[in-house]
């Protein structure tokens, strides 16, 4: 068990007024969120927004709830800050966003990470890279329900690429479609889905961004 989890257990032991369910609900999460964090290791590390909400409730600093050192932290007097620290490609720091079905093959992606995973090589230096889960089977068998898509939002796309097409909801959440890009025009994305097989157009005025899928972690 890592230090933040031990610290949380110690605080709970000293504070009978607190429990995991109450704290989880105070964070705006489901009642079992912190229990799963402690007992199942999910998420592996508390997201930054959660740490900043939880720390004051426990009388702690947000950094005390980190599982990995903050960026730029020194290793100790006279020590190399890089010594003993995870290499970039070993650190679980790629944000993963929750997905929910919105009908007709569309998914809703939240605006706050629910987990962090190890970065794949194509995203090692991509600040805005992220992961999201596949919902539905419209792109099977290439992408199955529960697969974790790895997305490079800044890389230019071209016909033949598999993409996440994004529509800003204006409330901090996003609608998304996972499709294969066939053709690009000023007004349209021509796309393909596999199941059932069909080609169709997306209005670029509504689906503003096409973000490249660089890989997946299969379920």
Q: Which one, of 169, 159, 157, lies nearest residue 213 by Cα?
A: 157
| Cis bond before residue 141 (omega within 30° of 0) | yes
pLDDT of residue 174: 86
- Whether residues 155 and 211 fall in one domain: yes
**CB-facing half-sphere around the CA of 200: CA atoms within 13 A:** 11
- Whether residues 56 and 94 fall in one domain: no
- Whether residues 103 and 176 fall in one domain: yes
Q: Which residues have C-beta within 8 Å of that of residue 171, sequence separation ≥ 6?
A: none
CA distance 150 to 134: 11
Beta bridge partners of 150: 131, 215
pLDDT of residue 52: 85
- Whether residues 135 and 193 fall in one domain: yes
Does a structural domain hold residue 150? yes
* pLDDT tens track for 123-176: 988 888 999 999 888 999 999 988 999 999 989 999 999 999 999 887 777 899
Instruction: Write phi, then psi, for 85 (nearest 5 degrees).
Output: -85, 150
| Full domain range(s) for residue 31 | 3-65
Provide the domain count of the chain. 2
- Whether residues 97 and 53 fall in one domain: no
Does a structural domain hold residue 74? no
CA distance 198 to 192: 6
* pLDDT tens track for 85-129: 334 445 578 899 888 888 777 898 877 788 888 888 889 888 889
Q: What is the 3-state secondary structure (H, E, C) of 93-135?
A: EEEEEEEEEEECCEEEEEEEEEEEEECCHHHCCCCCCEEEECC
CA distances 16 to 20, 22, 25, 30, 121, Å, are: 11, 12, 17, 21, 45
pTM, entire model? 0.60
CA distance 29 to 32: 8
Q: How far is CA 197 from the centre of its chain?
A: 29
pLDDT band at 76 (very low <50, low <70, confident <90, very high): very low
- Whether residues 151 and 188 fall in one domain: yes
37 three-state secondary structure:
helix
């Amino acid at each position: 068990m890592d230090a933040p989890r031990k610290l949380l257990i110690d605080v709970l032991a000293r504070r009978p007024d607190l429990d995991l369910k109450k704290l989880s609900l105070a964070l705006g999460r489901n009642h079992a969120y912190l229990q799963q964090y402690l007992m199942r290791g999910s998420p592996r590390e508390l997201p930054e927004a959660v740490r900043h909400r939880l720390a004051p409730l426990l009388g702690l600093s947000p950094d005390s709830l980190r599982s990995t050192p903050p960026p730029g932290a020194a290793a100790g007097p006279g020590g190399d800050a890089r010594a003993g620290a995870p290499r970039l490609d070993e650190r679980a720091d790629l944000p993963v966003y929750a997905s929910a079905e919105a009908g007709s093959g569309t998914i809703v992606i939240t605006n706050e990470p629910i987990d962090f995973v190890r970065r794949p090589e194509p995203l090692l230096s991509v600040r805005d890279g992220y992961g999201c889960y596949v919902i539905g089977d419209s792109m099977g068998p290439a992408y199955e329900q529960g697969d974790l898509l790895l997305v490079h939002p800044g890389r230019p796309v071209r016909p033949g690429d598999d993409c996440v097409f994004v529509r800003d909801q204006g409330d901090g959440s996003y609608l998304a479609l996972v499709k294969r890009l066939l053709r690009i025009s000023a007004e349209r994305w021509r796309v393909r889905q596999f199941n059932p097989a069909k080609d169709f157009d997306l209005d670029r005025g509504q689906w503003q961004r096409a973000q490249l899928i660089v890989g997946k972690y299969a379920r």
